[in-house]
Structure 1
Amino acid sequence: MTIELKEVWKGFNDTHVLKDVNLKIREGEFVVIAGENGSGKSTLLKIISGLLIPDKGEVRVFDYEMVREWKKASKILGVVLANERSLYWKLTGMENLEVFAGLYGVKNWREKAEYLLKRLGLEDAKDKLVEEYSTGMRKKLLLAKALIHDPKVLLLDEVLNGLDPRAVTEVISFLRELNSRGVTIVLVSHILHGLPENARLIVMREGRIIADDRLSRFSFDTLKITATINGKEVEVIAREEELDEKLRELIKRNAQNIRVERDDLYSVLRRLLNEP
């Protein structure tokens, strides 16, 4: 098992942010973590990376116990955090990668840096100061920094934020390519379109995991039926095979303005997050 959390709790100021989280992630998986702000996504990622210590529970990454062995584990982890400020703004993109490659003892760093900058569309900006980069360009450089030492696991918190639609597509394509080479990816994101259909989607609410399944299974056969009954709008969720039965039931209830729409992933998530 690449990543394993057992009965993990974490709190701040007497508020539990993670509550009895149990999670197993296998080597080579592409995992997406979604949920509302404050649901515990970023805290979970920091716990996995060893940047936060759980109040209770156990965290292991490639058999490293993260509380005691986080330094050893850091050599196989690539991490990008939301609102990360680790780049040196008075250095160029290439100089930044040189600094971080040195921290990891990467010998052929220039060859790797050239490849990453080109692959992420930063080749023409490699000699510009980071302070001249746009938000999206800095996000890409952070990803390059996280990959400079060839990690086995990528932990990414909202790395797609701040990117234009084309850049989102390019970065997702690169992540898919890395995953196909065996890199385990754990991505916290509210952007879900374009991700691999076989990706695993974990939904969090109030510090707990409330759903965990393949991304494709959250929306592929769900329909939403809306209608007006006695002046009130009602909504019915049905699968393909239930459609005729649900429509007959609504007609018996003298429903009007009946509309059928294919449910999308975001609607499914909203329902999950609003369930009691």
Structure 2
Amino acid sequence: MGVTPLLELAAVSYTYPGPQGGSRVLNAVSGVIHEGETLGVVGPNGSGKSTLLKILATLLRPTSGQVRYRGRPMARVPLHYRGRVNYSAGAPYGFYPRLTAVENLRFFAGIKGAACSPAGARRLLETVGLADRADAVYATFSLGMRQRLHLARLLLEPSEIWIVDEPTNGLDTDGVRLLEKILGDRPDKTKVIVSHDDDFLSRVATRRFVLTASGLVTV
């Protein structure tokens, strides 16, 4: 008997509502994601890369098809699954502008049902080079700082799967090195990453999904 994939996509399609039947951005996508791999998702603009990540993060429900988690339909284990997923929408999105960096991290830890003390949040911020911005509100952050806060959010525990959209956006060279170190230091995490930075993906991804208008090609 083969090993059950961590995640399995079975003919997943998604159509955004709209006139004349809406706009389909995913077309019967099928594939598997194995535990511990770093999967790079690539494809042309409009191919549904970010939509696929939102489906994996349970922010969208497929119009048709199914996602399975450890062999079970995701719909049967929604709370357990959501508690094991860290989703990064990428800067500038994803945080409350009037909350401080510490407050944002503690809020999102609470959503996961986990505790994150102020001291714990500050340790995460130190890891990503934001120790001196711990008490600053998110609205005052530059794009690069916002992206670093997303890196800190990825490190919240418990987590099993990291779903990351355009993580290099806004990062300087040192920030990209930090991102690659964080990804490399956590081989226990399964990572699904969308990025237009092909050089970055060539360094961090163990496999790629290529989305096309007709579905999915695995490389």
Matches within 5 A, 1:73-152: 73-82=81-90, 85-152=93-160
Cα deviation, residue 198, structure 1:
5.9
2:178 is equivalent to residue 187 of structure 1: no
Q: 1:88 to 1:138 in 2, by over 3 A?
A: same
2:10 is equivalent to residue 11 of structure 1: no
Report the equivalent of 1:204. 211
**Whole-angstrom distance in 2 between the partners of 1:128 and 1:198:** 34
1:30–1:185: 8 Å Cα contact kept in structure 2?
yes
Matches within 5 A, 1:157-236: 157-178=165-186, 180=187, 182-195=188-201, 196=203, 199-206=206-213, 208-210=215-217, 212-213=218-219
**Whole-angstrom distance in 2 between the partners of 1:205 and 1:189:** 15
CA RMSD of aligned residues (A): 2.1
1:49–1:70: 8 Å Cα contact kept in structure 2?
no
1:82–1:157: 8 Å Cα contact kept in structure 2?
yes
Larger Rg: 1
| Higher share of residues assigned strand | 1
Structure 1 spans left out of the alignment, 5+ residues: 214-276
2:6 is equivalent to residue 2 of structure 1: yes
**Whole-angstrom distance in 2 between the partners of 1:47 and 1:207:** 18
Give the count of matched residue pairs. 210
2:161–2:189: 8 Å Cα contact kept in structure 1?
yes
**Whole-angstrom distance in 1 between the partners of 2:120 and 2:162:** 17
Structure 1 runs, 4 residues or longer, greater than 6 Å off: none
Q: 1:128 to 1:26 in 2, by over 3 A?
A: same
Q: 1:49 to 1:102 in 2, by over 3 A?
A: closer
2:39 is equivalent to residue 31 of structure 1: yes
Cα deviation, residue 5, structure 1:
0.6
> Which string of whole-angstrom CA distances, capped at 9 and with x for unpartnered residues, describes residues 99-120 of structure 1?
2222333235345423321221
**Whole-angstrom distance in 1 between the partners of 2:71 and 2:176:** 33
TM-score (norm 1): 0.70
State the secondary structure of the residue aligned to 1:193. helix
Q: 1:61 to 1:105 in 2, by over 3 A?
A: same
Structure 2 spans left out of the alignment, 5+ residues: none
Code of the aligned partner of 2:48: G
> Which string of whole-angstrom CA distances, capped at 9 and with x for unpartnered residues, describes residues 183-232 of structure 1?
0000000112244366112222226223x23xxxxxxxxxxxxxxxxxxx
2:39–2:207: 8 Å Cα contact kept in structure 1?
yes
